[in-house]
Amino acid sequence: MTVLRFTQGDALRCRFGASPLWETMSAVRVLHGSRHRPLYSSWVAAKTELAATLDLRGLYALQPRVGFTPDFLTPPPKASRAKFATEIARVRSTPLDRVRTELIRSRDELNNPGAPEINRMLKDLSGTRERLADEIESAWTTLIQPDWPLISRVLEDDIAYRGQQLTDGGLAALFDDLHPTLTWEDDRLIATRYREPGRELTGQGLLLVPGVFAWPYLVMVVDPTYQPTVVYPARGAARLWSDAPAPPDPLARLLGRTRATLLVALDPPATTSALAAQYGLALATVAEHLSALHGAGLATRRRTGHQVHYRRTEVGQAVVDASVG
């Protein structure tokens, strides 16, 4: 297991961040091992032809199914809503001694099958750093950037939900629901099934990064060179790669099909604009139905910044549950 020990200062410095660089690298990993990630089969099928136009051999060699992927390829984001251009610039400016150290670790840990390719990389560290950054940038431009508005909406919804958990129940409520392998005990965050050495956080806090391509895994960055980071699967990622959920017929007869559809869709929490885009409805129509659900006690709403997120209440959940027996 891996244990992160918190001080009081660390508990106050937990923050969330969204990273297009992390999403890009995670998507490349999904492409490289898609048979082990059935959630993304629809996305892989849709992107296969585009992916075939990319040269991602360097990234594939450095993302074994088990083993170490160099952290310099995904430095923890410094901003809460990072820009891809800023993140890829950090990759391109990685000190070459760190590039060398992390390439060697990736090559040697758990008999990485990409070792021959990594040996070639080690002969020209500066050129390798640029090549890998170019591969990431091409993957971003081709595979992720066109869908970024939808992806970032899921990330924002997850962050809003987790922020509410933190407000209502503190770190225990947040971490006990974040991932099945995480447990919060006293001042310690324990990650079972993880083999990295533990770390004393000593006041720098913990960065939490949701990822739509992270399922079902948890990723931790504990190297003292970097900000301590946990990357976890974002709630609601499956709705990006599958058809929108249909309401049960009894619920549709009770509420009307559109209103029932929106009630079922409120997991994870969503905004009026997100639901309108997902279901092809007018904003005014969605707003009217959400207002009715809120007035009936089936949904609640909370403002986060400039957005209002709706979610099912316990009563709303009971109604959905009853309609499916």
**What tens digit of pLDDT does each residue of 1-32 get?**
899 999 989 988 999 999 999 999 999 999 98
| Among the ranges given (221-235, 264-278, 307-321), the one the predictor scored with the smallest mean pLDDT | 264-278
Report the alpha-carbon distance of residue 155 to residue 209 in Å, rounded: 9
User: Cα separations (Å) of 175 from 3, 75, 188, 314?
Assistant: 13, 22, 11, 21
Residue 147 per-residue DSSP state: G
pLDDT, residue 256, reads 94
Mean pLDDT over the full length of the chain = 91
Average pLDDT, integer, range 64-76: 93
Letter for the amino acid at 149? P
pLDDT, residue 134, reads 98
- What is the per-residue pLDDT across 96-119, written as a single tens digit (0 to 9) for each? 999 999 999 999 998 899 999 999
Six token digits for residue 71: 């952290």
- What is the per-residue pLDDT across 267-279, written as a single tens digit (0 to 9) for each? 778 889 888 877 8
pLDDT, residue 195, reads 80
pLDDT band at 51; cut points 50, 70, 90: very high
Average pLDDT, integer, range 117-134: 98
pLDDT exceeds 90 at position 226? yes
For residue 292, count other CB atoms closer than 10 A to its CB.
16
